[in-house]
Amino acid sequence: MGQYGIAMHLTEAFLKLPVRFDVAALKAEVAELPASAWVPHATGFPGNEAVRLVTVGGQPTDAFDGPMKPTEYLADCPYVQEIMAELGGVWGRSRFMGLGVGAEVPEHIDVHYHWRTHLRIHIPVFTNPQVEFTCGGETIHMAGAECWLFDSFRWHEVHNRGDEKRTHLVLDTVITDALWTMIDDARSAPEREARLLKPGERAPEPLYYEQNNAPLVMNPWEVRGHLDFIFGHVAEGPEQALVRRRMDRFADGWAGLWARFGDSGAGLSDYHQMIAATHSDLKQLGTAKLDLDRELSLLTVLEQLIFVPAVAAAGGGQRSAS
């Protein structure tokens, strides 16, 4: 069963959590990694590379979907494991991410299913004052060993205009109660000094990794949750009302199929047919001409958040990497 979560619900572009880490200890663990651990970033952006720490099956892959396990490189980073335990996430795909001198992450919005259901945590390791992160028109520099969230459903970009490579520890997780507590603390007392987690402060403890992160068949409650979120970003009007009415009919029909089949394989062809028929109707209604308030095509967002991941065999597990 899938889930829908906080990733696109931050009210601020950036949020600094009230915890910080030992930058020297982080740098030492990165320095100990072999050069062969660094691989080109999945997007292919020049100057972007990564060390995979948590992946599907602990294997050398950038896939989003499937049971997650630590890689051999995370096993060699005990302080990173302490950080993950302190944050209290249920960990999905996580990495060290490098951005070379003069390199950038071009401006984009993350509209894929993974980003609807996950938070991304950034912890700078190697950085310099010329590394700038822009999100929703706000530009900041994340200092070493701080802990940051950002709203990936706003236009964002990163530039390294300094003279040394930037490396961040980047951790993906669904929202948990422990993270909610940190978020609430950050919002209620933003000027409070962040607590330092010293190396060795936490006794070794198990980390939790995602085992279920993509639906075989999306349940009707999740479908409706995505629809409410999406149409909350579309201006009201005659065309919007027509499209919403058609999608409400889709959600009701999906609930009927779910009542018959659930996520068993017996109903897959029926689910596929309903997706295809609805997609065709939306094109005839001119949905491609409607945009969200963030200059995103409504049809594209419906495809990425509902039609593509709604049935695994219809494309779930093939979402673009970033």
Per residue in 231-268, pLDDT (tens digit) is 999 998 899 999 999 999 999 999 999 999 999 889 99
Query: Across 141-300, where does the E strand assignment appear?
Result: 148-150, 156-160, 166-174, 195-197, 208-209
Q: Are residues 18 and 161 in the same domain?
A: yes
The last residue of a domain, from among 209, 229, 251: 209
Of 151, 176, 209, the residue that ends a domain is 209
Q: Domain count of the chain?
A: 2
Residue 214, domain member (yes or no): no
In a domain, 253, yes or no: yes
> How does the average pLDDT of the chain come out, rounded?
92
How confident is the model over 66-70, as a mean pLDDT? 96
* Model pLDDT for residues 175-223, shown as the tens digit of each residue: 999 999 999 999 999 889 999 999 999 988 899 999 998 889 999 999 9
Residues 151 and 288 in one domain: no
Closest by CA position to 94, among listed 150, 208, 172, 42: 172
173 and 58 share a domain? Answer: yes
**What pLDDT shows up at residue 208?**
97
Do 114 and 194 belong to one domain? yes
pLDDT of residue 261: 97
Would residue 262 count as lying in a domain? yes
Asked whether residue 321 is assigned to any structural domain, the reply reads no
Q: CA-CA distance, 229 to 85, in Å (whole number)? A: 31
Q: Are residues 38 and 141 in the same domain?
A: yes
Same domain, 84 and 232: no
One domain, residues 190 and 234: no
Measured CA to CA, the distance from residue 249 to residue 247 in angstroms comes to: 5
Structural domain for 187, as ranges = 14-209
Same domain, 224 and 255: yes
Q: Which of 178, 209, 240 is where one domain is finished?
A: 209
Q: What pLDDT was estimated at residue 322?
A: 53
Share of the chain above pLDDT 90, in %: 80
Hey, how many other C-beta atoms are within 10 angstroms of the C-beta on 34? 9
- Find the Cα–Cα–Cα–Cα dihedral 171, 173, 178, 183, rounded to 10°: 80
pTM, to two decimals: 0.91
3-state SS assignment for residue 316: coil
Residue 58, by phi and psi: left (phi above 0), alpha (psi -120 to 50) or beta? Answer: left
Q: Strand, coil or helix: what is 169?
A: strand
pLDDT at 111: 86
Phi, psi at residue 144, to the nearest 5°?
-55, 130
Residues 142-153 have pLDDT tens digits of: 999 999 999 998
Answer with the residue of higher pLDDT: 318 or 51: 51
Residue-wise pLDDT tens digits, 42-58? 888 999 999 999 999 99
* DSSP H or E run through 99: strand 94-99
